Amino acid sequence: MSLDAQLQGYLNKTVGPFKGWDAVQPGLIRHWCEAMGDNNPVYRSREAALAAGYTDVIAPPTMLQAWGMKGYNERFPEGSDNANPFEVLVF
């Protein structure tokens, strides 16, 4: 099977949900943003987030990887899909 055909198999494929082990918390968002040098105000200021149409500060999309990781025990929290969410990255 060609690489293109293999990758096409991932289009419109439903996976998930993948639940996180921990709640997303503003303090952790702040630590992440400081470490990455990301000063987007919607990640740090409730007022900026509200003005942008959010209900509170939001987490940067790059944090999804951290919150969506399996635990050291190689499993996801109960209620999660056990499929590899990064399978397509093997290509």
pLDDT tens-digit map of 45-59: 999 999 999 999 999
pLDDT band at 91 (very low <50, low <70, confident <90, very high): low
Q: How far apart are the first and last CA of the chain?
A: 13
Smallest CA-to-CA distance from 79 within 4, 9, 38, 20 is with 20
With 90 as the cut, is the pLDDT of residue 78 above it?
no
Domains delineated in the chain: 3-90 (3.10.129.10)
**pLDDT confidence of residue 58:** 93
**pLDDT confidence of residue 32:** 92
Better-scored residue on pLDDT, 71 or 4: 4
Q: Tokens 């990640």 sit at which residue?
A: 43
**What pLDDT digit, counting tens, does each position of 5-58 carry?**
888 888 888 888 877 878 888 899 999 999 999 999 999 999 999 999 999 999
pTM of the entire predicted model: 0.61
